[in-house]
Amino acid sequence: MSGRDLAVLIVSYRRADLLDRALRSVEKHLPDVGVHVWDNASTDSADIRELARHWPEVSWTFSETNVGYITAINRLAAQVPDADMLHLNPEAELIGPLAAARAALAQPRVAAVSPTVEDPHGRERPWDVAHRAPTVVRTLVDASGYARQIGRSRCSGLSDLYPTAPREVDGYMTGSCLLVSRAAWDAVGPYDERFFVYGEDATWQPAARRAGWRLLLVDDDGPQAVHSTTGARSGDTLAAQRGSDLLRASQIMALGNAGNRGPGTVFSLGTAALDRVQRSKRAVRRRRLTAQRDRAAGRPGVLVTTNDLDLGGAERQRVLLANALVDRGHPVTVVCLQGLGLYTAELDPRVRLEMQPWWQPVVEVAGDEAVVVGGVTNTEVGFARTWRALGRVSGGLAVGGQRRWWMPATHDPAELDRATYSEPLAASLRTADGLLVLSAQHHADLTRHQRLTDLVMAAPNGIPAADPLPFHPTADPGAPVRFAMLTRIVEYKNPLLLIEALDALDRDDWTLDIFGDGPDRERLEAATPARLRDRVRWRGQVAGPDAAFAETDVLCVPSGFEAFPLVMVEAMTRAVPVMASASGTVPEMLDDGRAGVVVDPTSREAWTAALRTVLDDRDGLGAVGEAGRVRALAHYTDAAMADAYQQAFSRLLGHSFPGAPLEPVREIGSTR
């Protein structure tokens, strides 16, 4: 057996009873091994916290958000930097001490070891935790539900399951009870966080094999663990559907879909065909669409496109829009064209989540009428135009002649000295049924050098309202004013301009915290003058805006290249005063200076003057913050955004529908 330390890592989500069972099994069979549990925020987290009181010897981490399994296991691994790891699913329980598996892990160049695992329902063989190297055919066979039958036939090579228990695994082993070598983890690196859940095993372990490590399936006299694959989702059809969608997405990414090409995209096309030709899947698909159409009661279906769900303002808006519209009764599907991301956790479970390459626009959303909305990228435009065209093909790939519209929503900052979009992209936009912009000024900036479509409507972004934060400068007049940026760290966001403007004040009654990360952080941080290092602090990524705003008196947005900085609305709803460069919709957002400080032009001198005014009148900052909050709650909530989108839908369709606002959409028109 290995003389190295071992740590048990468990990521919990719902079902405190199953987690308790897993912990008891570890206590029985591995009594001297430390246990670390990460709880991803869920409806049952209160029960998990109560359970933690009964397990004080366990190291507990309670996440404020659901960061997904892959990120959570990476963070747990970082807590035990000198130990080998047992990744244990909370739905699993040990029935043995893993003696042979632990001994195997101590062998040279062994990256991961799994015991055989018993399925209490008898559907899986104990060695089915081991999988052959994934291929498109094998993964499609698995998606069709025939992997076990074919794996036991003469055509077993078409299945990803082994016909008999292997010793050495050439693909990967599932992580229900997986021992991982610390040496291999450090050499190969952590799990790929582009995956939200699933896929980590099918990517990390093959990467380890390519680097010369081995994967072993090892047992004592029999299975050492029991795992039920249905416990955490029993009776939860929405969670089951989301789980299936996430599994399919992870399979696409694991096979490879870079640049909307690769084996993963072939698999995607194959599963789309299976949904339409395999009898069992076809029946499920029809029942789902019928149920959604009945619940919609005349509301149009909505397809929301995005390249991924990584952290970003536009990506978050897609999620907030989808959540608001599904809450109003619309059938909503979010289509990721390239990948997933952390915002996956924030998507309402009633929203269907699909991954599909842009050239496979066969995604369905219920309703006799449907609208596709999304950004203005080449992939999103290509997907939307073709998806709309398929709706006009009776009996084709679309839902029975469904009437479809395309309404792109641009969040792009305008290029003021040249055309914002390439001419082919602008030509495509001119074929849209309507275009949503953030404001009249945003539209004027976008069309300064090129014409877009004729029907243009305004739909500002919006976020859920937040509670106001206490204002600090007036409570302690002697304390420095805490300026802050919360942004992706790239040069055009102008952090150095803000630092230079503060330095030019030649006074010490301020500090600056820069929250966020990005490709230019290291270089920009190194350019910070040494004399300011005690007052200019580069804080890195934070869990959410509240963590940053709790240490902020004034938010600064010095970039002169913005369309609609969502971070401003985050601050305004919390009554945090905002200073921002005049760009895009910023002056309108700040009510031309009545709900915040508009800095014009975007120069060091203008920012220095504005900062000096703020510092000299710190008693007035509270009123500025309150004015910003009033404006944000009136114009920039997720409810106001949903109103604007529904008004735009009514304009496109030419009629109202249940729940649509009676007021007409704000039309802007076209500038030629």
- Class assignment of domain 481-635? alpha beta
Give the model's pLDDT for residue 669.
Answer: 62
Q: What mean pLDDT comes out for the span 2-27?
A: 89
Amino acid found at 537: R
Percent of the chain past pLDDT 90, that is, above it, reads 69
pLDDT confidence tier of residue 400, bands split at 50, 70 and 90: low
Q: Which distant-in-sequence residues (6+ apart) come within 8 Å of 372 by Cβ?
A: 302, 303, 304, 305, 383, 384, 387, 388, 404, 405, 406, 407
Q: What is the pLDDT of residue 136?
A: 94
DSSP string, 312-378: SHHHHHHHHHHHHHHHTT--EEEEESS---GGGGGS-TTSEEEE--TT-------SSEEEEE---SH
DSSP string of 568-582? Answer: HHHHHHTT--EEEE-
Q: Note the pLDDT of residue 474.
A: 58
Q: What is the pLDDT of residue 610?
A: 97
What's the average model confidence in pLDDT over 474-483?
80
pLDDT band at 394 (very low <50, low <70, confident <90, very high): very low
CATH of region 6-134+147-233: 3.90.550.10
pLDDT tens digits, 599-649: 999 999 999 999 999 999 988 999 999 999 999 999 999 999 999 999 999
Amino acid at 202: A
Look at residue 233 and tell me whether its pLDDT is greater than 60.
Answer: no
Is the per-residue pLDDT at 232 higher than 50? no
pLDDT tens digits, 237-265 = 677 788 889 999 999 999 999 888 999 99
User: DSSP assignment, residue 667?
Assistant: B
pLDDT at position 150 = 82
Provide the β-strand partners of residue 117: 225
* Spatial distance between the Cα atoms of 59 and 519, rounded to a whole number of angstroms: 34
Each residue's pLDDT tens digit, 535-552: 999 999 887 788 899 999
Mean pLDDT of 128-149: 89
Q: What is the pLDDT of residue 473?
A: 65
Mean pLDDT is lowest, of 152-161, 453-462, 645-654, for 152-161
Q: What is the pTM of this model?
A: 0.86
Q: What is the pLDDT of residue 210?
A: 95
pLDDT of 230 > 60? The answer is: no
Who has greater pLDDT, 666 or 157?
666
Calculate mean pLDDT across residues 490-515: 95
Asked if 299-458 and 481-635 have one fold, the answer is: yes
State the CATH class of domain 299-458. Answer: alpha beta
Tell me the pLDDT tens digit for each residue of 301-338: 999 999 999 877 788 899 999 999 999 999 999 999 99
Q: Kindly give, in sequence order, each residue whose CB lies less than 8 Å from that of residue 385, ignoring residues fewer than 6 positions away.
A: 406, 428, 431
**Are 202 and 171 a contacting pair, CB within 8 Å?**
yes
Across residues 372-388, what is the average pLDDT? 96
Residues 362-371 have a mean pLDDT of 92
Structure tokens at 541: 């990524």
Banded pLDDT at 393 (limits 50, 70, 90): low
pLDDT value at position 26?
Answer: 96
Mean pLDDT throughout 402-431?
93
* Higher pLDDT, residue 197 or 617: 617
* Residue positions counted in the chain: 672
User: Which tens digits make up the pLDDT trace of 428-478?
Assistant: 999 999 999 999 999 999 999 999 999 999 999 999 988 888 776 655 677
What average pLDDT does the structure give for the chain? 90
Using alpha carbons, select from 615, 656, 394 the residue that is nearest to residue 502: 615
- Over residues 568-584, mean pLDDT: 95
| Residue 651 pLDDT class (50, 70, 90 cuts) | very high
Q: How confident is the model at residue 39 (pLDDT cuts 50, 70, 90)?
A: very high
Using CA atoms, how far residue 595 sits from 550, 606, 650, in Å, is 20, 19, 32
User: Are the beta carbons of 372 and 405 closer than 8 angstroms?
Assistant: yes
* Boundaries of every domain in the chain: 6-134+147-233, 299-458, 481-635
**pLDDT on residue 195:** 84
